Structure 1
């Protein structure tokens, strides 16, 4: 049996509790691996009337999972009102994330981590200093930001933004051969470890329109991307490009690579969310643990209205379980 996954439910006023509960309700339909929620169980009760059972540790989750949603509850953090975020809710989200990460890192009874959506604006108000959950989880795992890669994935497309939550005007200055190489190496290794792809195909998007048009409208492709791609190929990584980004995401183009390496956030996330808005998954490569997350936000506007689609959470659970299984098989084979 797969080890249970820990789900940090995210902001209690968002849709995280609802999609976690709905994922449990759909567990048999989607053949989901066992999981348990980490957070304030009152947030679930506020949006769902299904069975919930408090557990004291992850080792109890598998036995409870067939009949109730197992929950490791954090301390009460004030009143919970769906759709109305507050400071107490931000503290609950951070405490839940911290606890879930700790269990995923230290417990032999946890197969991986799934993180629910949080409000970074609320977290910043309580002193959170990381750009997002990806960077927080990486730090708690002892991994530098350069060696942790945020990959977004759906059934027909995987993308990696080489730069992430930064202003567009800052992207050219942040791109470097070293950064491109670091992100690509982690991506290739992660696709092997988590997805079982023995020789991943990495296709790079150019920064500028038409991939710079031979230097006529930008030289980043010539001075940064091409040298990095050549170096990767010398290392045995199947890297190609840079290509004009506007021709990389139609069906025929997508069939030619396993992941699109993109220069900035929207270059990667616009096509991913266009194709897989309801089943896109955010996963972090380069960590000692498996970590996934539904690729959407807190959706405070629909929280508590029974309108949240659990598709992305279900996909995140399935991907985490699959990645954990791939890793276990590599360990068994002696090639982790």
Structure 2
């Protein structure tokens, strides 16, 4: 059924006109400055996540389940930024804001695959930390982390295939102007002249699976971790654990919060400016913060970075 649906959509793409993306910002001086900031942050996200992947691959001491999951998070974040920002920047600089239905479909597919996969992966990482701290003798081996990561990718990909096919299957007989800087399902549903209420209920079910359940898992894991930390005798260890957990939860809220607010509201309550602002958090801001919060505040990662720098630029008298 899914194959037939995708085939029909591909046939329609050949005859459909392009969509128009209005973009994130205008061309006033203040907005040009903001555009430069967005590009700078996106570049930092790409560099930070690429560096994280490189360090984990190069340093054998980082070949552990925790850092393997972190490398998958960095890969998803780098791909997520690459899905939206290059097109947005090209549209802004060239003034050509059109995007083909196929291009729109690819953006929706990769956003849902990477966004949904990261939701599950963050939950898997919190569970990994819970087992490592609360039940260290049962800490999983490398193979378990590989299976968890593969499951995140697989389930998110299947979900993205279904939603991409269904979202583009609706007739767009109204304006084809999307008030957003990339193709996102809530923004596109506003353009459809068909009844999308049944599909929106399906989106709500997916949101429960990909957002609420993983978020609940993360909260439960950190509560268990904090309760275990409270029983520690070392005040320094407690302080460090509190700091780590608080930073992690801030990033989690910044990621899940906008996603929940965007995908679990009825279509009639969506405001374009609000949706674009919220999308910045899960497509640009959190991919930039994740390497810093989860990795570069870690002594093992900093040591690995120093070793790589020493091997690349050896000291010579």
| TM-score normalised by structure 1 residue count | 0.26
Higher relative contact order, chain-length normalized (CA < 8 Å, sep 6+): 2
Give the number of the structure whose residues are more often strand, by fraction: 1
